[in-house]
Amino acid sequence: MTIKMADYVIPRIHPEGRPFIALFAVAALLLGWLWSPLGWLGAAATLWCVTFFRDPDRMTPVQPGLVVSSADGQVCFVGPSDPPIELAMQAGSVLKISVFMSVFDVHVNRSPLDGKVAHIAYVPGKFLNASLDKASLDNERLGMRLTLADGGEVGVVQIAGLVARRIKCFAKTGDDLRTGQRFGLIRFGSRVDIYLPESAVPLVAVGQRTIAGETVLADLISGGAPRQAEVR
């Protein structure tokens, strides 16, 4: 894939963002008409809205067994967990990896693996700070279970946050998703939890930054030791 300079200067905007950008722009013009300093504040808010809805292409690893991040953001949890009941996954502990997205991150979500969408469930809830682990069970969320080619299953849960009030999932039950394929979006600030087989080896650490569709979160088949990391 050839990367053009225009891709850096003028980012691709997700269609979901166009109405919001237009609304922010109109508000900026009206504020500027009332008082020019307010217009500049409105222009800054419009620029932020543009960056929020950016939707860049990503270079996705395609090696079998690699699990890529579903979200841009910061890893806030890595460890064993019980999957939420709405995913209807097999009972037992699994590996959960959570990524928190701030209002400055790209919010387009991508599939962590190749798989068929077997189940989708929406659960209403609270709007706690999505960086808190209790947000996994208390907040509004939308869960998706993928069935893998080998019969395994993976859960992906989009979670609303303190500011986020809208979860969008474009995938439908029966769809075949490819690793790194766009499947949804959350606005404005949120979290994605990924539930993997307990045998999966995590390759990220809490505090690490991730890029959706590019950063490898875990390995399902190669084995090895969990990755260690430290601030330097």
Residue among 70, 111, 131, 190 flagged as catalytic? 190
Give me the half-sphere count of Cα atoms (radius 13 Å) on the Cβ side of residue 192.
Answer: 34
**Edge-to-edge, what's the strand order for the sheet holding 216-219?**
66-68, 216-219, 201-202
Is residue 225 pLDDT above 80, yes or no? no
Q: What class is the 66-219 domain?
A: mainly beta
Q: What is the mean pLDDT of the chain?
A: 89
190: left (phi over 0), alpha (psi -120 to 50) or beta: beta
Ranges of each domain in the chain: 5-52, 66-219
Write the pLDDT tens digit of every residue in 10-69.
678 888 888 988 999 999 999 999 888 898 999 999 998 888 889 999 999 989 999 999
Write the pLDDT tens digit of every residue in 121-142.
999 888 777 777 888 888 889 9
Active site residue 93: no
Select the more confidently predicted residue: 75 or 10.
75
Write the pLDDT tens digit of every residue in 168-201.
899 999 999 999 999 999 876 689 999 999 999 9
Return all residues near 187 (Cβ < 8 A) that are at least 6 apart.
16, 20, 52, 53, 107, 164, 165, 166, 168
Report yes or no on whether pTM surpasses 0.85.
yes
Lookup result for tokens 């960056």: 51
